[in-house]
């Protein structure tokens, strides 16, 4: 029985989606207006892929939604709508906000886990020592994950590195998967119409019907029956 414990642990991880993300699995970056745009309603890559750096740990991070825990675009978009609604609620609690400053979710762009890991060893990015995607529940959102990029000791040009990373991430993006939340569907023009086509082409869900059904079942298991210690 003792000999079976490692296998039981592996089986549990597989069922609950706790095993390591595979290179071909999809991530999605939500786009919220006006955060991802200029004052002239123009989409801005560096505002969309907003990278946060921590000089003490030599890391650069960005938030994404992991398809493993949001198995269809409906789940991805529902997360985006909640994200924008939460931003508006925070602004209202802090003294109200002007209508022009209202946060509006307008869609998402996808990329693979492999595209993130591929930053290691990429041309002109020798200062990157690791690039990984870490599942990290945040604000009650189980699909939240973090792109974590670690720089080697002695890196010289942080802003230049971030610019190069932005370029690589954007060029790996697919989409957009546009969306209009119910609360903002009446807006005309809607900022979803301002999203440009991604460099890597449109997003197409290439999973088979059986795989999609399994991913939905696994998502349900994770939501309702995951081990308490997680």
- Average pLDDT per consecutive 10 residues, the chain (230 residues; last block may be shorter): 45 51 96 93 95 94 96 97 95 74 95 98 93 93 96 89 96 98 93 97 94 89 61
pLDDT for residue 97: 64
Q: Which two tokens stand for residue 225?
A: 């029956």
Q: Which domain holds residue 132?
A: 21-221
- What's the pLDDT at 132? 97
Q: Tell me whether residue 226 is in a domain.
A: no
- DSSP-based helix, strand, coil % in the chain, nearest 5: 40, 25, 40
Query: For residue 114, what pLDDT is reported?
Result: 98
Contact status, residue 195 vs residue 31, Cβ threshold 8 Å: yes
Can you give the pLDDT at residue 19? 65
Is 151 part of a structural domain of the chain? yes
**Is 229 inside a domain boundary?**
no
Is 139 part of a structural domain of the chain?
A: yes
In a domain, 15, yes or no: no
Q: How many independent structural domains does the chain possess?
A: 1
Q: Does 9 map to a domain? A: no
Residue-level pLDDT at 98: 73
Spatial distance between the Cα atoms of 134 and 145, rounded to a whole number of angstroms? 5
In a domain, 14, yes or no: no
Please tell me the predicted confidence (pLDDT) of residue 8.
Answer: 40
């Amino acid at each position: 029985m003792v000999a079976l414990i490692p296998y039981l642990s592996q089986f549990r991880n597989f069922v609950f989606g706790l095993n390591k993300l595979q290179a071909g699995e999809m991530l999605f970056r939500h786009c919220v207006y006006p955060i991802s745009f200029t004052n002239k309603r123009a989409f801005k890559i560096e505002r969309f892929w907003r990278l946060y750096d921590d000089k003490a740990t030599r890391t650069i991070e960005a938030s994404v939604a992991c398809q493993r825990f949001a198995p269809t675009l409906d789940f991805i978009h529902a997360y985006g709508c909640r994200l924008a609604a939460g931003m508006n609620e925070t602004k209202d609690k802090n003294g109200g906000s002007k209508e022009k400053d209202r946060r509006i979710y307008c869609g998402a762009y996808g990329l693979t886990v492999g595209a993130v890991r591929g930053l290691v060893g990429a041309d002109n990015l020798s200062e990157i020592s690791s690039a990984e995607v870490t599942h990290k529940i945040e604000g009650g959102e189980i699909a939240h994950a973090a792109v974590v990029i670690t720089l080697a000791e002695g890196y010289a040009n942080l802003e230049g590195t971030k610019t190069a990373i932005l370029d690589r991430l954007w060029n790996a993006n697919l989409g957009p998967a546009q969306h209009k939340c119910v609360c903002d569907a009446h807006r005309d023009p809607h900022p979803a119409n301002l999203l440009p086509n991604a460099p890597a082409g449109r997003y197409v869900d290439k999973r088979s019907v059986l795989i999609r059904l399994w991913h939905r079942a696994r998502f349900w298991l994770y939501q309702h029956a995951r081990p308490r210690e997680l």
